[in-house]
Amino acid sequence: MIPLFDFRLTWSCSQKLPKLSQLFLVGLLGFTTGCSWLPSSEAQTRSPAGREDSGPVAVETAIAQTGSVETGLEYTGTTAPLQAVSLRAQAEGQLLSASVDTGDTVAVGQPLARLDGSLLQSEVDEAAAELAARQSEVAQARSQVSSARTQVEQARVELQQAIADAVRLQQLAEAGAISAQEAELAQTARSIADQALQSAQEQVAAQQQAVASAQRRVNSQRAIVEQTRQRLAYTTLASPIDGVVLTRPAEPGDLIQPGNEVFSLGDFSAVKVIVQVSELVLSQISSGQAVQVRLDAFPQETLTGRISRISPVADATARLIPVEVTIPNADRKIGSGLLARVNLATSSQGIVVPQSALEISENPADAATATLFVTAGAAPEAKVQSRSVQVGERANGQVEIRSGLEPGEAVVVRSSGPLSQGQVVRLSILSES
């Protein structure tokens, strides 16, 4: 506990000095002449026999109240762009040119580099020629379908004529005008005409299947043409985001294979910091919560960020949870790779008293228990009782008492002397009631 001093001072001296010029000498001889400065509340009175008599120790008290202790836990992380994109080649070719370099600002859709596409252009021309040939096959197959349909119509006419002849000759044969053999020949011609019609119809169906097959080959070749044209379009690399060029690992003249990184881009409209948070404070933070961030690169500024993502997976060994904090960066002055100190403000609800009420220990920050004094009795004098309590969070001169104290009890926060169990004390006028 912090000693309480009463600044009303009493000056006593065993002998009077008649002259001001002797004050300096008196100051030097004060200890031998009996002069002393004492708090008036603690001024001692001497009996004729030299016996000292002191009054009760003066104390200042505070009332234990229900409240919360806000603590700020600081974690360190590294700044990174809000979005990082690795722009990789999707076609093979020599890098002919690159229009931007590291640190340059780019816009979405902006051409950044160009690959040699002469071989791909040849493939596009070849595929287009093959497509034209297959389209010609389709046209030829459709022409054959038309011919087959003409043959079907001709066979149908011949069949109708054969049917009419067979009917007429059959009637003449029955009348005895012609022989039965002639009627039978007419029936045979009718059957032949019927078979010819069926054959022509089957030929039409076969030619239609040939058209369909040729059309599928055309569609397949058209897809090949589109693919080769798309690959040719890949020879121009454009930015997919608004941002800044972080790195350019390829140089003009390099042979680029599909999948090779040509540019690394970052969106710095905002930056993010990922910190590893203990599982013990997980229940005290939430997505969207505002946090304070300090950057060593800008020591005079305190930035406000928000928790944008809390990982659902904790490290199985360290029990740490990745938490992402997003910081606005409208002026783009915050870059990547800077050391960031994130302060997560948490609060603990319970009984709160001034931290000065606790007995000083060697390591109070780590102490789980502490001792304090509570007062009992009416003012101006009361008795103190020693109390062992369980302590929690400490911040801003306040401490959380988790057990051993009830709300409304008066605790000693300052005293003018050491205290003991059951000691009578005098309540200061600064004491809370």
Listed residues 289, 319, 347: the one ending a domain = 347
List the single range of 165-174, 185-194, 213-222, 355-364 with lowest mean pLDDT: 355-364
List the single range of 154-163, 196-205, 210-219, 355-364 with lowest mean pLDDT: 355-364
Is 323 in the same domain as 365? no
List the single range of 24-38, 68-82, 134-148, 380-394 with lowest mean pLDDT: 24-38
Is 183 in the same domain as 281? no
Instruction: Classify residue 401: in a domain, yes or no.
Output: yes
Backbone dihedral region for residue 288 (phi beyond 0: left; psi -120 to 50: alpha; all else: beta):
left
Comparison of pLDDT for 247 and 173, the residue scoring more: 247
Is 123 in the same domain as 157? yes
Residue 150: other Cβ atoms inside 10 A: 12
Listed residues 292, 324, 347: the one ending a domain = 347
Is 286 in the same domain as 391? no
Residue 9 has a pLDDT of: 35
Is 247 in the same domain as 110? yes
Q: For residue 354, give the CATH number of its domain.
A: 2.40.420.20
Highest mean pLDDT (candidates 52-61, 286-295, 341-350): 286-295
Instruction: Classify residue 108: in a domain, yes or no.
Output: yes
Is 107 in the same domain as 127? no
Listed residues 321, 347, 373: the one ending a domain = 347
Is 326 in the same domain as 353? no
Residue 36 has a pLDDT of: 35
pLDDT band with cut points at 50, 70 and 90 for residue 271: very high
Looking at the predicted structure, is the pLDDT value of residue 186 above 80?
yes
Over the chain, what HEC string results?
CEECCCCCEEEECCCCCCCHHHHHHHHHCHHHHCCEEEEHHHCCEECCCCCEECCCEEEEEEECEEEEEEEEEEEEEEEEEEEEEEEECCCCEEEEEECCCCCCEECCCCEEEEECCHHHHHHHHHHHHHHHHHHHHHHHHHHHHHHHHHHHHHHHHHHHHHHHHHHHHHHHHHHCCCCHHHHHHHHHHHHHHHHHHHHHHHHHHHHHHHHHHHHHHHHHHHHHHHHHHHHHHCCEEECCCCEEEEECCCCCCCEECCCCEEEEEEEEEEEEEEEEEEHHHHHHCCCCCEEEEEECCEEEEEEEEEEEEECCCCCCCCCEEEEEEEEECCCCCCCCCCEEEEEEEEEEEEEEEEHHHCCCCCCCCCCCEEEEEEEECCCCEEEEEEEEEEEEEEECCEEEEEECCCCCCEEEEEECCCCCCCCEEEECCCCCC
Highest mean pLDDT (candidates 68-82, 139-153, 215-229, 349-363): 215-229
Q: For residue 320, give the CATH number of its domain.
A: 2.40.30.170
Is 190 in the same domain as 42? no
Instruction: Classify residue 367: in a domain, yes or no.
Output: yes
Looking at the predicted structure, is the pLDDT value of residue 8 above 70?
no
Query: Could you tell me the two tokens for 348?
Result: 């603990």
pLDDT band with cut points at 50, 70 and 90 for residue 180: confident
Is 123 in the same domain as 176? yes
Q: Considering its fold, how many domains does the chain have in total? A: 5
Looking at the predicted structure, is the pLDDT value of residue 16 above 50?
no
Is 320 in the same domain as 392? no
Which residues constitute the domain of residue 222? 119-233
Instruction: Classify residue 177: in a domain, yes or no.
Output: yes
Sign of CA dihedral 180, 185, 190, 192: positive
Is 106 in the same domain as 240? yes
Instruction: Classify residue 433: in a domain, yes or no.
Output: no
Contacts (Cβ under 8 Å, ≥6 apart) of 266: 80, 81, 82, 83, 84, 85, 243, 244, 246, 336
| Phi/psi of residue 361, nearest 5 degrees | -115, 175
Is 353 in the same domain as 343? no
pLDDT band with cut points at 50, 70 and 90 for residue 253: very high
